[in-house]
Amino acid sequence: MNAAAVVTRFAPSPSGELHLGNVRTALFNLLLARRLGGRFLLRIEDTDAARTTDEHVAALERDLTWLGLAWDEGPLRDGGTGPYRQSQRGGIYAPLLARLEGGAAAYPCFCSSQELELSRRAQLTAGRPPRYAGTCAQLDAREIERRRASGAPATLRFRVPPDRQLSFDDLVHGVQQVDCAHIGDFVIRREDGTPAFFFANAVDDSLMRVTHVLRGEDHLANTPRQLLVLEALGMRAPRYGHLPLLTGADGTPLSKRTGAQTLRELHEAGYSATAICNHLFRLGHSSAEAASLTLADMAAHFDIGHLQRASARFDPVQLRHWQGLWAHALEPAAALAWLEPFLPLGATPAQRTACIAALQPNLVAASDIVDWLPVVFGGELRWEDPARAAVAAAGAEFFRLTAAAAAQAADLGALRTASGRAGAAFFAPLRAALTGRLHGPELGPLLKAMSPGLARERLAAWAR
Ligand code: GLU
Cα–Cα distance list, 54 to 14, 63, 84, 89, 291 (Å): 9, 14, 14, 17, 38
Q: Reply yes or no: is the peptide bond before residue 238 cis, omega within 30 of 0.
A: no
Residue of 10, 47, 201, 205 best suited for mutating to test ligand 1, as the one with most atoms within 8 Å of CB: 201
Task: Give me the mean pLDDT over the 335-349 stretch.
Answer: 94
Span 321-334, pLDDT tens digits: 999 999 999 999 99
What confidence score (pLDDT) does residue 208 get? Answer: 98
What confidence score (pLDDT) does residue 3 get? Answer: 47
The CATH classification number of 89-243 equals: 3.40.50.620
CB-based burial of residue 353 (10 Å sphere; 0-12 exposed, 13-18 middle, 19+ buried)?
middle
Give the Å distance between the CA of 21 and the centre of ligand 1.
Answer: 12
What confidence score (pLDDT) does residue 256 get? Answer: 62
Reduced to 3 states, what is the DSSP secondary structure of residue 351?
A: helix
Q: Are residues 216 and 242 in contact, defined by beta-carbon separation less than 8 angstroms? A: yes
In angstroms, rounded to a whole number, what is the distance separating the alpha carbons of residues 132 and 235? Answer: 25
Q: How confident is the model at residue 260 (pLDDT cuts 50, 70, 90)?
A: low
Task: Give me the mean pLDDT over the 34-46 stretch.
Answer: 97
Ligand 1: nearest atom to the Cα of 218: 10
Say which amino acid occupies 318: Q
- Give percent above pLDDT 70 in the chain: 98
Span 397-406, pLDDT tens digits: 999 999 999 9
Ligand 1: nearest atom to the Cα of 9: 8
What confidence score (pLDDT) does residue 258 get? Answer: 62
Is 97 a residue whose pLDDT tops 90?
A: yes
Of 357, 387, 384, 382, the residue nearest 372 (C-alpha): 382
Residue extents of the structural domains in the chain:
89-243, 332-464
Give the Å distance between the CA of 374 and the centre of ligand 1.
Answer: 46
* Range from 75-89, 148-162, 251-265, 343-357 carrying the lowest mean pLDDT: 251-265
Mean pLDDT of the chain: 95
Give the Å distance between the CA of 120 and the centre of ligand 1.
Answer: 25
In angstroms, rounded to a whole number, what is the distance separating the alpha carbons of residues 315 and 249? Answer: 6
Q: Are residues 176 and 170 in contact, defined by beta-carbon separation less than 8 angstroms? A: yes
Ligand 1: nearest atom to the Cα of 222: 9
Contacts of 200 (CB under 8 A, 6+ apart): 45, 47, 86, 89, 93
Is 392 a residue whose pLDDT tops 90?
A: yes
Give ligand 1 pocket residues (Cβ under 6 A): 11-13, 45, 201, 213, 215, 219
Give the Å distance between the CA of 335 and the centre of ligand 1.
Answer: 37
Is 1 a residue whose pLDDT tops 60?
A: no
* Range from 23-32, 45-54, 58-67, 246-255 carrying the lowest mean pLDDT: 246-255
Give the Å distance between the CA of 12 and the centre of ligand 1.
Answer: 5
Give the Å distance between the CA of 200 and the centre of ligand 1.
Answer: 11
Ligand 1: nearest atom to the Cα of 10: 8
Is 136 a residue whose pLDDT tops 70?
A: yes
What confidence score (pLDDT) does residue 250 get? Answer: 80
> What residue owns the CA closest to ligand 1's atom 4?
12
